[in-house]
Amino acid sequence: MGIRLGDQAPNFTADTTEGTIDFHQWKAGSWAVLFSHPADFTPVCTTELGRTAALKEEFARRGVKVIAVSVDPVGSHRSWAPDIAEVGGTELNFPIIADPDRTVSQLYDMIHPGEGDTSTVRSVFIIDPANRVRLTLTYPKSVGRNFGEILRVIDALQLTDRAPVSTPVDWAPGDRIIVSPAMPTEEARQRFEDVEEVRPYLRWARQPA
Ligand code: BEZ
């Protein structure tokens, strides 16, 4: 069975472009994005890793460390790094795991045999500081991911951890939030600003700090 939301993110030791890491020690109380790509020297992957490098400050200001994985060896990752830097406009600034024996890929169920070969599909795991898996995404090899969406869901997860709220359809930071159905409207009016009751179960409010 694959990894489900709320599961403990499995730990592993792996070779990366930044040396050998123990995953839980490497993330050490931070949020983490662990994402797989099918292969080195492929076009979509080059754009995705380039974008990730360019977003370093965005991830850092949310307290998030990023790490990529593919089944190619570390020497291949290192040879590919200049292409990623040129395409993305930023030096590679996060580790890429080399997983030629498929240890990490199998642990995280990143190889989907129906998708053509024994390389990884485009999986994303967002993992919280307590090492719980909080969000998973799986894209096919032919479709590049939207890293703006990955930042958006991190913002939503961090907000909904801080306050008893949910984020509505297409929410973006600064938009109104939805008050938790467990909270009575009177209490919501004391706790949040601009509370609007549209239905007894749907109360909007201004996003709390
Ligand atoms: C790519 O990154 O462009 C790619 C990799 C594997 C299969 C299809 C596309």
Q: For residue range 57-66, list pLDDT tens digits in order.
A: 999 999 999 9
Where exactly are the structural domains of the chain? Answer: 13-151, 163-205
Cα 72 to averaged position of ligand 1 atoms, centre (Å): 13
Top mutation candidate among 46, 52, 71, 142 for ligand 1, by most atoms within 8 Å of CB? 142
Q: CA-to-CA distance for 178 and 77, rounded, in angstroms? A: 43
Phi, psi of 13 (to 5 degrees): -115, 135
Low-confidence ranges of the chain (pLDDT < 70): 1
HSE-CB at 206 with a 13 A cutoff on CA atoms is 8
Q: Whose CA is nearest to atom 1 of ligand 1?
A: 44
Active site residue 45: yes
Residues with CB under 6 A from ligand 1: 38-39, 42-45, 141-142
- Confidence (pLDDT) at 68: 98
Alpha-carbon torsion, ordered 24, 26, 27, 29, to 10 deg: 80
Q: Which residues contact 56 (CB under 8 A, 6 or more apart)?
A: 90, 93, 94
Angle at 188 between CA 187 and CA 191, to 5 degrees: 90
The CA 193 to ligand 1 mean position distance, Å, reads 47
Tens-place pLDDT, residues 96-121: 999 999 999 999 999 999 998 889 99
Write down the pLDDT at residue 118: 87
Q: 33, 45, 111, 124: which is the annotated catalytic residue?
A: 45
The amino acid at residue 184 is P
Q: Ligand 1: distance of its center to the CA of 117 in Å?
A: 12
Q: What is the domain class of 163-205 according to CATH?
A: alpha beta
- The answer to whether 104 and 12 are in contact (CB under 8 A) is yes
Residue 169 Cα to ligand 1 midpoint, Å, equals 30
20 within 8 A of 14, measured Cβ to Cβ: yes
* CATH class given for the domain over 13-151: alpha beta
